[in-house]
């Protein structure tokens, strides 16, 4: 079976989503530094920066369905799919979590990691939602809350995968809808079920449905896709960081428009002007996991040297993003890709084709 055609604009959108999350954290760090130094800094409010996660979730739903197309009709599709997903997600996340754990012992509070029991630590490594002592349902590396949703989505998609191309999408949509509906019933519910039944999981369903629409032949002309992109950005900007609507509507809806704008066009190459965005998109997972280390490190260095007073807080925030992006590309090429290949060699069934699931 042939691999699905590449969609470079999806990678560029991944870069935007990762930069949105990183920009929010960079501005938070700079705001704290500016307040301590008596400097004036107003964080940019063009977009709700945490909504980069919602864009990621819609992309994830889309790309899993799109890239898993070669697995339909194959022997042991679930095993191949899960092997690829585990190899792609787990090694770098475990590395980041272990680094946070080491820093928590060496310098408590440096990255906001608290001291919890061994059960909580095991749950953090196994993507199992568990409440901290302060009540927050977050793993040791707090960014991992998104991966707790991702891994649950992968498990549900794996259950539906043998149903065929359409059946797999409809099956995972039904499973996600069942989860959300169960969360509306009177509780209390166990922490994992309460966590996974959050309506934010609808964003994965939106991406999966979009991928099925593309597989069924839906394409939009350039002007229509441009209108979707402009509408998505405008609605995100209007929603702001404290939306009146539920998150899955206020941020997930515009995220769906953005993903549709890049996913429902022709496949193939992109212009050279987009090459840097595509390179960063390839490293978007590394950027997402690594940027807190970089922005906190830059803040510590700026506090020690007085750099913020020389550059100004805004320039310092941009510097954080540039350094985080460069570090992510280096990490992707020298650590993430070798770890993924090694994990696939261990996990993937022998003597089976290796369709890429990126």
pLDDT in tens, 274-329: 899 999 999 999 999 999 999 999 999 999 888 888 888 899 999 999 999 999 99
Predicted confidence band of residue 3 (pLDDT cuts 50, 70, 90): low
Residue 99 Cα to chain centre, angstroms? 20
The pTM of this model reads 0.93
320 and 313 Cβ atoms separated by less than 8 Å: no
The angle formed by the CA atoms of residues 152, 153 and 158, to the nearest 5 degrees, is 100
Residue 207 token pair: 């991406």
**Which of helix, strand or coil describes residue 236?**
helix
The predicted pLDDT at position 1 comes to 46
Cα torsion angle, 7, 88, 121, 98, sign: negative
pLDDT at position 104 is: 85
Determine what percent of the chain is predicted with pLDDT higher than 90.
Answer: 75
**Which residue is associated with the tokens 């920066």?**
49
DSSP string, 264-288: SS--S---GGGHHHHHHHHTHHHHH
C-alpha span between 35 and 342 (Å, rounded): 45
Q: Which residues contact 115 (CB under 8 A, 6 or more apart)?
A: 104, 108
Give pLDDT, residue 5: 66
CA angle 204, 207, 209 (to 5 degrees): 110
**4-11 average pLDDT score:** 83
Using the Cα atoms of residue 241, residue 243, residue 247 and residue 249 in order, give the sign of their dihedral: negative
Report the pLDDT averaged over residues 193-212. Answer: 97
Could you read off the pLDDT of 330-345 as tens digits, one per residue? 999 999 999 999 999 9
Cα–Cα separations (whole angstroms), residue 296 to 34, 69, 105, 328, 329: 14, 40, 17, 15, 18
Reported as a single tens digit per residue, the pLDDT across 143-179 is 999 999 999 999 999 999 999 999 999 999 999 999 9
The pLDDT tens digits of the residues spanning 16-53 come to 999 999 999 999 999 998 888 778 888 898 999 999 99
Q: Could you tell me which of 333, 247, 251, 255 has the C-alpha nearest to residue 290?
A: 333
pLDDT of residue 307: 85
């Amino acid at each position: 079976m042939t691999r699905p055609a590449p969609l470079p604009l999806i990678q560029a959108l991944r870069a935007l989503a990762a930069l949105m999350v990183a920009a929010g954290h960079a501005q938070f760090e700079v705001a704290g530094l500016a307040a301590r130094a008596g400097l004036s800094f107003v964080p940019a409010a063009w977009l709700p920066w945490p909504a980069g996660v919602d864009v990621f979730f819609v992309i994830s739903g889309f790309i899993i369905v799109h890239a898993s197309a070669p697995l339909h009709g194959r022997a042991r599709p679930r095993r191949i799919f899960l092997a690829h997903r585990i190899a792609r997600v787990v090694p770098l996340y475990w590395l980041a979590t272990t680094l946070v754990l080491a820093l928590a012992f060496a310098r408590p509070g440096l990255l906001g990691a608290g001291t919890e029991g061994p059960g909580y630590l095991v749950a953090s490594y196994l993507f199992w939602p568990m409440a901290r002592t302060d009540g927050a349902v977050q793993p040791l590396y707090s960014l991992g809350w998104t991966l707790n949703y991702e891994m649950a989505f992968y498990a549900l998609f794996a259950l539906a995968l043998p149903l065929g191309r359409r059946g797999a999408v409809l099956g995972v949509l039904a499973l996600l809808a069942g989860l959300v509906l169960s969360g509306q019933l009177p509780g209390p519910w166990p922490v994992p079920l309460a966590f996974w039944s959050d309506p934010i999981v609808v964003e994965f369903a939106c991406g999966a449905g979009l991928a099925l629409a593309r597989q069924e032949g839906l394409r939009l002309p350039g002007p229509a896709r441009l209108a979707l992109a402009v509408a998505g950005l405008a609605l995100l900007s209007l929603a702001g960081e404290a939306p009146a609507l539920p998150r899955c509507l206020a941020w997930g809806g515009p995220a769906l428009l953005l993903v549709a704008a890049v996913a429902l066009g022709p496949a193939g190459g992109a212009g050279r002007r987009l090459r840097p965005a595509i390179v960063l998109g390839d490293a978007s997972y590394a950027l997402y996991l690594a940027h807190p280390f970089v922005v906190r490190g830059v803040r510590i260095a700026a506090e020690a040297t007085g750099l913020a007073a020389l550059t100004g807080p805004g320039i310092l925030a941009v510097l954080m993003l540039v350094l985080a992006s460069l570090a992510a590309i280096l990490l992707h090429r020298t650590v993430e890709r070798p770890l993924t290949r090694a994990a696939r060699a261990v996990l993937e069934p022998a003597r089976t084709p290796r369709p890429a699931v990126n």
